[in-house]
Structure formats: structure tokens, C-alpha cells
Amino acid sequence: MMEAFRNAAKGWVAKIFLVLLVASFAVWGITDVFKGFQAQDLVTVGTRAIPAAEFQQQLNQAMQRLTQQTGKQITLEEARSMGLAQQVLDRMIASSAVDDLGGKLNLNVGDLAIANSVQQNPLFQGTDGKFDRQRFENLLRQNGLSEQAFLASERQNTLRASLAGPARANITLPNTLGEALFKYREESRDARYFTFTVSEADVPAATDADLKKQYESTPAAYTAPEYRGVAIMKVEPGDIANRIQVDEAQLTEYFAANEKDYYTPEKRTLIQLSFPDLVAAEAARKRIDAGEDIMKLATEMGMKETDITFKDWTIDQFLDEAIGKAAFATAQGAVSAPIKGALNTALIKVVNVSPEKQSTLNEVKDKVRATVQLNRAREEIQSTYDAVEDARAQQTKFEDIAAKAGIPILVIPAVDSTGLDKAGVDLSIPNKEEVLAAIFQGDVGLEADAISLPEGFVWYEVREVVPSAVRPLEEVKEAVRGDYTSNKLRTLAADKAKAIVAKAGTTSKLESLAVENGNATIKEAKGLKRNQVSEAFDGVATLALFAAKPGTLTWSLEGDGKTARVIEATKSETPVYSAISVLGKEVADNAKSGLGEDLEDIMVKAIRAGADVTLNEDLWRKISTNAAP
């Protein structure tokens, strides 16, 4: 989420510092590794220190992000084997080196600048485009951030931007490079092609040895993710509203105070024709008076019925007050006299009228009761929260707490980090993303704080952790067999396509090749570009087309894994380059942006190389090898 904050503000730091400083992310999965040396400094960079506890937070966050991206729980050993711990450390050192240089240069950022940056971040703005304080606080809370920690991080990143930002300034793109990039992006090609499909009947039945080889060569494909058994309790106003008793006096009192909420204004379905002046409108009215249908006039004016029909409009929906008043003064089935509005002149036919209605209490009693119950429930949420917390403090079982409090409980035997059970069913979990993240940060026996909802709370209890493991071959044998067959089909299709192109050489025509391959239908695609994917040409086919010379044949595999296409590149065109054209400027701007990011990377690396870095080698060895402290 912190990355989203950066991206929304279009800062450079999200690209360089993928793991950002945060104050309060829960520790998950690697706590024991850091026991005994959280208080020690792992690295010093100039005058800046990186404590082991801070590195622990950063590594946790990086592992969590990778887990979300892959859908598989990343263990500490896996993080070590892929070099994640070293990457996190390197980024933190680079970040501290930039901070240290900023301190030496006496760079500072004022509170007003930080406040303006936060208020202008689209992530924190409401539907009106203005800063929404409640949204800001909710997003921080959902991501485990305090306001103070987030603002401190913003201040640091603004300081870094003031150092690295100038690397983007005054970038001049050579005209030759601009022209080359333009031609590469804007070249278009036409193609003719046909497809053929290989059959599963052509694939020999897999032997046990074949299946074993397929299984052992791709263990990740048959690895079950980590699952967790969990109990979840939720309370929102709607969960406890039905149990609240409301008497007749309360219903009467509420209805009297909110009677207007049960009033339905008059609504009309109308047909409106607009004219440039009264003369044209009056001429049209005469034709209608003579018996001509209003829709015939609309057709002559190039209008469709859907364009001029307004269903169930209230008078306040009219932007033009004069037209609205006239529309609501015209009888059902009648056509109004020409109406002179502020912007145009109109004729209106009233198709249907739904009269206004003020409902009585008896007519809407059930709705009123539900509303009163919901309002009372909102007032009782805090007392329900207090009762649940008191019961948890007494080690009461979740099932007993839920039964006594009258709130829903969900017991899930197994769920992975994406919300799927062992059968692959997507489970319905309240406040799903946040609750799953918390569940996979917790552990069996660990009492976790309630998760706050806009109008309620969620409690969860991790009851079992089933580690990620490769499923036995017998359990996944059919999946292995399917993968073996799919791989063989892809190989057969690719080999056949290669053979067709090789045999054709430079003499065979696409027509004769199509005949030889079952009288396949030849299709055409025109105006294809490298960076565009169409229904006719996916990314693989487009890549193959642009890798071939015009007038030659090439091939590509289709997405189903058993179909291939033989392609003839028929024509290539490139528009004339102009540095001052819209497209030319767009290409140049994109190139400058990329060059600017590269220069910022180079600048940060240079700052890092010149920094005075001291690593606590003994501490790093213990952390990176899981040696006892």
C-alpha cells in the first residue's frame, strides 16, 4: 500500500526504495531469528544507523509483498535462497546513504510542504476530489501505519527527491534516437495466416516414468500453499439489529421526525424534442396537431427514441427550470406548446405520470422498524465490542463468545493467503484482504487485536497452520498427466509449424501450405503494431510477425497450447517522423522519463558508493544464516 501511496503522488522513491520505512507492521514468521539482537545496529551509514529491528520490519514487508504477488507463502529460507534479505539490506543502505548526504547538506522539508503533498495525493481524496480525512486515517489503519510514522516517511522521501530529482532535469533526447524509437513504435504490418491444431491422439500415453519425470521437474506446479485453520467473528450494525426490540411509540416518534424520507415526489416519463427557435418548434407542433406521430419527427431530426426519452424524471432533474415547469404542467398523453428555455426551445410529450405519494406509518412500518433497529445497533456496537473483549480476556472460546453476543462466527478449516480453500473455492470472508493479511501474520495461540471496520469489528483466531508442501504424486497424478499431455501437444504443434516454414522456404505460397494442412482458411490482419494486441493477433503472434522480414513466413503458438499459426508478413509501413508532431513528442517524453529514472538510479548508486558504510559482520552472519545469537 505504501507503494500505492508513492505511485499516486508520482514520486521517484517507490521505484528505487521498494521496501519503505514503516512504523508498525506485525512481525510474521521470522521473529525467532531476530531474538537477542533487535536492539543492536546492523549497519551504520555515515551518521545514520540501521537497527536490526528495522531491518526485520523491512524484510517482513518484502516477504509479505512477494507472498501476495505469488500466492504462495514465502518462508525465511526461501527468502534467503533467492537473495531477498541481501536485496532488502542493499536498498536500506542506499536509502540511508541518500539521507546522510541530505543531512550533510542541511536539507529540510517544512510541515506545510508535507501537508500539501498528502492533501494532493489522489489516494486520500474523496469523490469530490478534495482531501478526505476519514479516508486518510482508514487507509493508514488498514496498512498498520500511524499518522506520525507515515508523515515521517513522507518527509524522508521528499528530502531524497530533492537530491535525486535534479538528475531528471534538462534531458535532451538526440533526434536520431527519437526517430529510431518513433519508427520502432509506429511501424505497422499486415499479415496473412492460417492455423492448424494437433490432436491428443498423436501424443503417446504417458508411462509411469514419464509422469515421475514431469512431477519431479516442476515441483512448484504441484505444491500446496500454506493453509491456515481460523475462526472469525464479526460484528456490524446489521448483525445485531434484528435482536433489538422497538415499540410502537418509538416507531411513531421516528416516523414523525423523518416523514419526508418516506415521501415520493411526482415522476414523469417524457419525450423531449429540441429546436433552434420558436418558429421550428411551432411548425413541428402543427404537424403533431394534424395527427403526425412525434417519433416520426424525431427520426427526421436524426434522433433515436433512447436519446429523447426521459424515464421517471422528477421536476428537480431539469437543468432548465422553464422546461421543467412546463413538462410538469402538461397532462398525461398531451404534447406541450413550444417552450422557450434558457438554451433551446422544446416540445414535450408526457408519456406517463406517477403521482406524488406520502406514505403513512402503517404502509412503511417494516422499513421504519428496520431503520430504527439499525440506528440503535450502531449505538450498541461499542458495548458489544467491550463484551467480546472481556470474554476474550477470560479465555472464553470463540464459539461461546459469539453465541452469547449473538454475532456471526465463521470457522474455516483451511484457507490460503488468497482466500481459497483446499478445493479451490473462493471463500466469503468479511473485510477479506485485510483479514487474510492479519491471519497470515499471526500464529496459533497468539491473541490478536480486533480489526476495525467502518462500523464494526472483526476478531480472528488462528487454530492451525499447515505448511506449504509438495503434494504426493498419487494425489496429483491426473494433473501431472494433463500437464505432460499439454507439454507434448505444444511441442508437436511447434515442431510441425517449424517444419512447414522450413519446407516452404522462399518459394511456397501460403495458399498451397493451407491446402496441404487440411484446406485451412487463410485470414488477414492489417495495421498491426508491436505494442498493440488485438483479438486476431495476441502478443506472441505479434512478436513473431515483427521478428520476420516482410515477404517471408514465420510461425507462433496459440494460447490453447495445441494450435499454431503460420504467418506471412505481407507489408510494412512507417509514418514520416516529425519531432514536433503529437506522436513524436509523445515518444520523446516517454523516452525522457525512462532516461530520467535511469539517471536517478545511477545517482543513488554513486551516493551509495561514496558513503561510509560499516556492517556489523557478526550480527549479519547470525541473521543471514539463522545462527544462534
pLDDT in tens, 234-260: 999 988 888 889 999 999 999 999 999
Q: What's the mean pLDDT in 291-309?
A: 87
pLDDT at 36: 46
User: What is the residue-wise DSSP string for 361-414?
Assistant: TTTTHHHHHHHHHHHHHHHHHHHHHHHHHHHHHTT--HHHHHHHHT--EEEEEE
pLDDT at position 592 over 90: no
Eight-state DSSP code of residue 120: T
**What is the C-alpha separation between 95 and 77, in angstroms, rounded?**
25
Q: Would you call 91 helix, strand, or coil by DSSP?
A: helix
Strands 223-224 and 469-470: antiparallel
**SS3 per-residue string spanning 460-508:** EEEEEEECCEECCCCCCHHHHHHHHHHHHHHHHHHHHHHHHHHHHCCCC
Alpha carbon separation from 118 to 114, 147, 255 (Å, rounded): 6, 11, 43
Using one digit for the tens of pLDDT, what is the confidence trace for 147-201? 777 777 787 777 766 765 666 666 778 888 888 988 888 899 999 999 999 999 9
Using one digit for the tens of pLDDT, what is the confidence trace for 466-510? 998 999 999 999 999 999 999 999 999 999 999 999 988 777 789
**What is the C-alpha separation between 399 and 232, in angstroms, rounded?**
10
List all residues 6 or more positions away from 574 whose beta carbon is below 8 Å from its beta carbon: 183, 186, 187, 188
Contact 96, 105 (CB under 8 A): no
Query: What is the helix, strand, coil percentage profile of the chain, to 5?
Result: 50, 20, 30
pLDDT at 441: 84
More confident residue, 355 or 105: 355
Q: What's the mean pLDDT in 387-404?
A: 93
CA neighbor of 156 nearest in space, from 1, 6, 51, 39: 6
Which grid cell is 546? 515483427
% of the chain at pLDDT higher than 90 = 42
More confident residue, 525 or 106: 525
pLDDT at position 28 over 60: no
**What is the C-alpha separation between 96 and 213, in angstroms, rounded?**
48
Among 13-27, 396-410, 445-459, whose mean pLDDT is lowest?
13-27
CA neighbor of 181 nearest in space, from 588, 565, 613: 588
What are the beta bridge partners of residue 339?
346
Among 113-127, 343-357, 540-554, whose mean pLDDT is lowest?
113-127
Which grid cell is 103? 543531512
**What is the C-alpha separation between 496 and 489, in angstroms, rounded?**
11
Contact 230, 461 (CB under 8 A): yes
pLDDT at position 214 over 60: yes
Using one digit for the tens of pLDDT, what is the confidence trace for 501-522? 998 877 778 999 999 999 999 9
Q: What value does the mean pLDDT of the chain take?
A: 84
pLDDT at 169: 63
List all residues 6 or more positions away from 487 whose beta carbon is below 8 Å from its beta carbon: 214
**What is the C-alpha separation between 459 and 442, in angstroms, rounded?**
12
Alpha carbon separation from 331 to 51, 290, 317, 326, 357 (Å, rounded): 79, 19, 19, 10, 18
pLDDT at 388: 93
pLDDT at 115: 81
Which grid cell is 540? 506472441
List all residues 6 or more positions away from 432 whose beta carbon is below 8 Å from its beta carbon: 419
pLDDT at position 607 over 90: no
Burial class from Cβ neighbours inside 10 Å (0-12, 13-18, 19+) for residue 376 reads: middle
Q: Would you call 218 helix, strand, or coil by DSSP?
A: coil
pLDDT at position 354 over 90: yes
pLDDT at position 403 over 90: yes
pLDDT at position 339 over 80: yes
More confident residue, 307 or 555: 555
CA angle 202, 205, 211 (to 5 degrees): 125
Q: How many CA atoms does the CB half-sphere of 251 hold within 13 Å? A: 16
Q: What's the mean pLDDT in 541-566?
A: 92
Q: What's the mean pLDDT in 22-46?
A: 54
List all residues 6 or more positions away from 550 whose beta carbon is below 8 Å from its beta carbon: 189, 569, 570, 571, 572
pLDDT at position 531 over 50: yes
Among 32-46, 307-321, 610-624, whose mean pLDDT is lowest?
32-46
Among 106-110, 542-546, 559-563, whose mean pLDDT is lowest?
106-110
**Most trustworthy range by pLDDT among 33-42, 72-81, 349-358:** 349-358
Q: What's the mean pLDDT in 9-24?
A: 34
Q: What's the mean pLDDT in 524-531?
A: 90
**What is the C-alpha separation between 597 and 603, in angstroms, rounded?**
10
Q: What's the mean pLDDT in 44-62?
A: 84
Contact 433, 4 (CB under 8 A): no
Alpha carbon separation from 529 to 178, 327, 541, 542, 573 (Å, rounded): 18, 53, 11, 8, 10
Among 36-45, 317-326, 443-452, whose mean pLDDT is lowest?
36-45
**What is the C-alpha separation between 169 and 167, in angstroms, rounded?**
6
List all residues 6 or more positions away from 119 whose beta carbon is below 8 Å from its beta carbon: 131
pLDDT at 38: 46
Global confidence as pTM: 0.52
pLDDT confidence of 616, banded at 50, 70, 90?
A: confident
Alpha carbon separation from 100 to 149, 366, 612, 614 (Å, rounded): 19, 66, 10, 14
Q: What's the mean pLDDT in 597-606?
A: 80
Q: What's the mean pLDDT in 130-141?
A: 78
